[in-house]
Amino acid sequence: MDHHGSGEAAPLGGSFGEGSMRVWAKATGLAVHLLTASGAVLGLLALNAATRHDWSGAFMWLGWALVVDGIDGPIARRVKVAEILPRFSGVNLDLIVDYVNYCLVPAFIVMEAGLMAPPFNGIAAAVILLTSLYHFCDQQSKTKDGFFVGFPAIWNVICFYVFVLGAPAWLVSIAIAVLGAATFLPVKWPHPLRARALRPLTLGITALWLAAAFAALLQGFPSSVPVKVVFIATAIYVVALGAFRTSFADEAGLEIKDE
């Protein structure tokens, strides 16, 4: 007797195939989340290197974490992880990992590396951690045309600059104070990959900066004059582009973070 009210049996092959596809989709989603989460492990390795004062090693691991952070988002969107695994928020996972690598590890480096004398090193580290929390919980921290609103808490990059340039303590103190305050100002900062304004030029400069960063890791700190020139020129370009977007470009609207 047919208890399902139909005289036709379900095609076993089709049902099995659909089930296999669902399993494969979920496995793919989990793999992407694991890729994002691996950034935390890279952050731990960077922290371990910093405890041994292996600064090149610390920034190398932070660099790999930056690579993971750059590729996991496009992959997640391509395979539609949010639809496959709606229970687990890739956005929240990414924010947690980013706070570790962009803020916590650099704050530790600032305290541990002797960039400033105590207690100023501890105060500077606290400024990094506290101001960054406000950036990460800001629901209007991005524009639709690929700019951040307020300093985007890229303290890993700022610390890297300090080591590459061999910046003195007074300059490090001023930079941390100014950038920490800039978290709360409506100044725009371009995303190196997503900013639409002058995008081909920005991508080219980003590629040049990455090559210089790799050279810096090989050379040690402080770096050679050519590397310093690339770093300084890139910083000037980023600040100028952000200032132009802030002052002259039409407001493109804000992108609200997903919950």
The predicted-structure confidence for 159-192, as pLDDT tens digits, reads as follows 999 999 999 999 999 999 999 999 999 999 999 9
Six-digit token string for 81: 């992880």
Q: What are the pLDDT digits (tens) for 210-235?
A: 999 999 999 999 999 999 999 999 99
Only one residue has tokens 């050679």, namely: 224
Residue 62 CB contacts under 8 Å (≥ 6 apart), including other chains: 42, 43, 46, 101, 105, 106, 156, 160
Using the predicted structure, report yes or no on whether residue 257 has a pLDDT greater than 80: no
117-120 contacts at long range (C-beta below 8 A, 24 or more positions apart) = 117/169, 120/169, 120/173
Using the predicted structure, report yes or no on whether residue 248 has a pLDDT greater than 90: no
How far, in Å, CA of 30 to CA of 157, rounded? 29
Using the predicted structure, report yes or no on whether residue 258 has a pLDDT greater than 50: no
Determine if the pTM surpasses 0.75: yes
How far, in Å, CA of 67 to CA of 56, rounded? 16
At residue 54, what is the residue type? Answer: D
Six-digit token string for 98: 């980013």
Q: What are the pLDDT digits (tens) for 70-110?
A: 999 899 999 889 888 888 898 999 999 999 999 999 999 99
Q: What percent of the chain has pLDDT over 70?
A: 89
